[in-house]
Structure 1
Amino acid sequence: MSRIVMSILIIGLIGLAVFLMISKIKLILSKIKSESKKEEFESIKHSKVSAEQFVKTIDSLGYFKYADQRNIEKLKQDHLESFRHGGSWGGIWDDETNLPLGLRHYFCDGESVFEHGGFTGMLEEMNSTFNKIGFNLSIDSHFDEWDSKNDWINHTITLNGTDYVIFKNFKGYG
């Protein structure tokens, strides 16, 4: 699998919420063709989407297609409640594994990702989603090393035979 496809897949799973928001804005912006349409856009931009519309939209986009059928109604209800009460994205995690029941909404703590093993740990957590969509992710090698002499980090990973540089001589780590 190409390096670009792999990167898009990983980033896409983490950033689905951002993608949906950007897509909606792009769609609206593509319809703005004159000054009068800009006024219409401003009114749309400040309108509120109902929780029901939100859940119906993500459902129509296939958001719940990887979830176990037994969990779908529970997940939809959680999204309704989260969106209704805070305008936020919902999600339910398994009590034992702490993995998302919807196989879409992963918790990614920036501090944890940068701790030793955090980056590969995040990818391993997402493996159940990768398996469900038929994507085999192999972490062939992983290297992260703090260089005290130069005060920087070097961090590389090989996924499915392709080398990726996460950080090279990066200062400001930690």
Structure 2
Amino acid sequence: MKINLLLFSILIGVFFSSTVMAKPHSLVLPTQFPLKKIQITVSSQSNKENAERYQISINGNGNSYFIKNNQQQPLNVTNDTLIELLNDFYAVHFFEISDTFNVKKKVVLKDSQTVTTIVNKEPAIESKKVCVQLRYYKKCLSVIDNQPLGVSQIVNKIETLTRTTGN
């Protein structure tokens, strides 16, 4: 009887632990995570047919790379650089920013007495998608017209890493 109860407990534990692992991303930003579970990606996005597309992937496991014109080049990114980039993301409050900046709001004065807000969703012709994954937590946002500025500056810094390796 004790063995059956033990087996049942183990099976229930395995079932629930695999259920938890099946979630693709967590909504809770972790405060501690293994270095090898960090991934930062930047990719260009465009609706234009002949647009040049690229992807940069910086991984805590050491397998960082740059893909352009369907050619993958390795990137040498040190742990210190990776930590510096993460600190940059925290400094600009990346994890608290809205996911997209293609919604533009403008205040206008109507009939000289009423102020109204106009909300327009602008088509994202060209943008860059930035994602940071820490363990099972993942946050992505689109950078459009260099906005948000702080994240745009981090993207420029990451793009510079591809130039230092001769790409």
Structure scoring higher RCO (CA < 8 A, sep ≥ 6) equals: 2
TM-score of the two chains, using structure 2 as the length reference: 0.24
More strand by share: 2
Task: Give 1 or 2 for the bigger CA radius of gyration.
Answer: 2
